Structure 1
């Protein structure tokens, strides 16, 4: 029996090539049972004419489906659904629609929802003025070389490395590159046993909190500060002391003597972008030695120090092994990668590795090897240089637009980064401003997310230039300024 040609149509919602759309259309028909084994498909010529596409595209799709045993080719007769095509196992429901009669309020022992975290619209790319932070710009990213590195990682030569269950181990090539190239640029010397690959910076901070803290210990974090860290510390159930930030970073006079762990972002403070000067970094290390506490350094955006040379990492100044260093590839490559690393004493790394083993075992092998390839071939350094040049141009344009419209910058003394920390005039709530400009195609981040008491952030907001073209920046700033005037 032949399958009617009217059965075939391309799904406009499926994001992929035409060949992939055809393959999905036919494989779904087979798996769903609509296309039975032995059924004949339209010829490549007829299907191409019906869909309005090239015949070679259909031919290539048919060939791939044959290799996956969805179809078989019978000489001059054409293509047929394979008698051994993959099938989905189906079970008829025995109870019908299941009702939810469980008292989840009693059943749930620990609650993790309700954390105050930054919200980003899924469709942010559709807005004409996305001053949104931490997203990749497809115009800057090196698509071609990344694709080649991924293909190399998935090739036969590296098949065993990327597909094996490595238990608690990491990709040796990635660890080697971090130890010999990435860390020395920050003045850090570390052995492989002192490096652990993580599922991004957030995962590294969470593991540090779980290993170092409990209900009887005290953690210090910056206020305002990274919301993801605050959530991790809340889940650790420790005592959290929120320390204010000034023009030089964390105010050390507010750090209590009973502190066990200090979390800080000295390179580019989140969210103000303030850079902690060398003198205060040294003072923090002296305080840590004097009061016997650990410092967790989130080396946030250190690659984006394009205005001034980057200051030495805290870890590079550490003579007692008190600093645990957290790095990430999410900002410099793309956030969806979720790959970072943590550096510390062998004793700490041993415990963190054991914790990771229980939760995620290890980050995906093919991602680790792809990043290792991208780093070792020099593509990463070229990308960072290109990002720095682009960000500097965009920053200059944004600075000029901000000055022209008289908007107030709250952050100061920065060495680069990818955003401005702003402040509204009196009696103007940044959340109301964010909602108003969103209606006009502008996305900004209200500042209440970053404060221990959200009300303290009512007049602050962040605007980033990492994902918006220079030409669009002045128009977006004009809308923000006009909206503030109307409010």
Structure 2
């Protein structure tokens, strides 16, 4: 690999002759680790021209570095960092060595760290028993057809989709599919200007919070709830009111009368998996009308309904434009896709579109067009059917294993889903349990992050079956039961 000539410059404050300063510059690059063994340096002519010095000055500097074993010369190929060059020192850099003397505790106007968003291991697939939520199972994903769609989107016919700056608009093919195929399955009819493509559901929730909430407004959220949503709303500086869910999800009668926006996950409550029945959905709409509040419906995991047809979306029952709908392809296709959508009244979508344009303009056109092909050619429906069949088998195996070991199930999706919400005995800290299980190649998701406040319960956890083969589930649950027994004693 050649070292870019732009990385070479002579400091105006340097001391000594030009030859000595060039030697110091290259030696420092090697000793700091910026220039690595075997990398090629620019020719003496090009470097001299770049630095504005004579060629002989550079040649003499190279010759001196050659003699000191910093460089080596290869026949007709030029100069390279020597394989015998001094090794960069192994030390922790001085925190002030980069000249950062700013008092960041005063300089930061707002802070976005400090939430309870968990850190998930990037090497989850190396665990034998990964009861980890939200990752793609490579044995289920349709690599071949996704690659085919990506190549098709790179073709000359789709050149404009690949290269166009849509500014605040989206790929019309993707919008058309969402409007004509995805939303009608949920009982929702929407026009193109009532749909906005987002960088996943989390981005959709952020846009919604930014547009609807102020420091004087109140948001009602479920307790427990999706931890990233709570972080988003905390950062918006609005007032937060947490409403405890029951086995049927969010109870409308428990909502505070002063709430301006209600956030809910009626299809599969996150994380308990509770499914809100139809009569409660109607009651929630009536309550919102009475309060003159808006509802944000995160239609989380509605596609993973292998036990029966999902209930109608809350948005499909809305006759007043009161419900804002959040959907996502990231969970059902693959999480790294980061592609979701917002559906709402034109006035609301117009403001979200303007905000999105000021932050990221639009999701990449090639990703949108690839997804549009994957959806419209039927690959997405095939993937969902295959996932549903496999998840149904895995869930059956997991439920039997949990029953065999007498482990406490707190919530499971009525129509399906990809996880089971668990409760450990009182006194068990599932974060400590998680640490012990990792040593035995088992991954679980501790539940404390889903709750608000310092007194959050520590004995809940989530087990997902989306990324673990059926044959590994019984043994993994057996290890879990063993560690739970140790934690109780």
**TM-score, normalisation: structure 1:** 0.81
CA separation of 1:35/1:157 partners in 2, compared to 1, >3 Å: closer, same or farther? farther
Aligned to 1:479: 479
* 8 Å CA contact retained: 1:288, 1:295: yes
Tell me the equivalent position of 1:161. Answer: 161
SS in 2 for 1:421: strand
Secondary structure of the 1:160 match is: helix
- Higher Rg of the two aligned structures: 2
Deviations 1:112-150 (A, max 9, x none): 111110221111111111100000011000000000000
Bigger shift: residues 422-431 or 356-365: 422-431
Change in Cα spacing, 1:482 to 1:204, as seen in structure 2 (3 Å) is: same
The 5 Å alignment of 1:304-319 reads: 304-319=304-319
* 1:33 equivalent in alignment to 2:45: no
8 Å Cα contact 1:267-1:301 kept in structure 2: yes
CA–CA separation in structure 2 for the residues paired with 1:150 and 1:321: 36
How far 1:31 moved relative to its partner? 11
Per-residue CA distance 1:253-279 (angstroms, 9 max, x = gap): 220111100000000010011111001
Worse-superposed segment, 159-168 or 340-349: 159-168
Distance 1:179 1:36 in 2: 59
The match for 2:235 is 235
Distance 1:31 1:360 in 2: 39
Q: Aligned residue for 1:288?
A: 288
Displacement of 1:452 in angstroms is 0.7
CA contact (8 A) 2:226 2:271 kept: yes
Equivalent residue runs for 1:7-18 within 5 Å: none
1:135 corresponds to which residue? 135
- Under a length normalisation based on structure 2, what TM-score does the superposition of the two structures give? 0.80
**Equivalent position of 1:193 in the other structure:** 193
Q: Is the 8 A contact 2:413 2:420 kept in 1?
A: no
Match in the other structure for 2:219: 219
The residue matched to 1:280 in structure 2 has which SS? helix
Offset at residue 456 of structure 1 (A): 2.5
Alpha-carbon contact 2:251-2:280 (below 8 Å) kept: no
**Mapping for residues 423-442 of structure 1, pairs under 5 Å:** 423-442=423-442
Residue in structure 2 matched with residue 102 of structure 1 by the alignment? 102
CA RMSD of aligned residues (A): 2.0
Compared CA separation, residues 482 and 176, structure 1 to 2 (3 A): same
Summarize the Cα distance change of 1:373–1:413 in structure 2 as closer, same or farther, 3 Å threshold: closer
CA contact (8 A) 1:329 1:340 kept: yes
Task: State whether residues 29 and 35 of structure 1, in contact with CA within 8 Å, keep that contact through their aligned partners in structure 2.
Answer: no
C-alpha separation in 2, matches of 1:180 and 1:378: 14
Q: 1:451-466, aligned counterparts within 5 Å?
A: 451-453=451-453, 455-466=455-466
Q: Distance in 1 between matches of 2:412 and 2:419?
A: 11
Deviation, structure 1 residue 35 = 8.9
Equivalent residues of 2:222, 2:263 under 8 A apart: yes
- The alpha carbon displacement at 1:427 in A equals 1.5
Structure 1 residue ranges, 4+ long, deviating more than 2 angstroms after superposition: 28-37, 96-99, 453-457
In the other structure, the counterpart of 1:59 is none
Secondary structure at 1:457's aligned position in 2? coil
Aligned to 1:45: none
Q: Which residue of the partner structure matches residue 247 of structure 2?
A: 247
Long gaps (5+) in structure 2 = 1-34, 45-75, 78-95
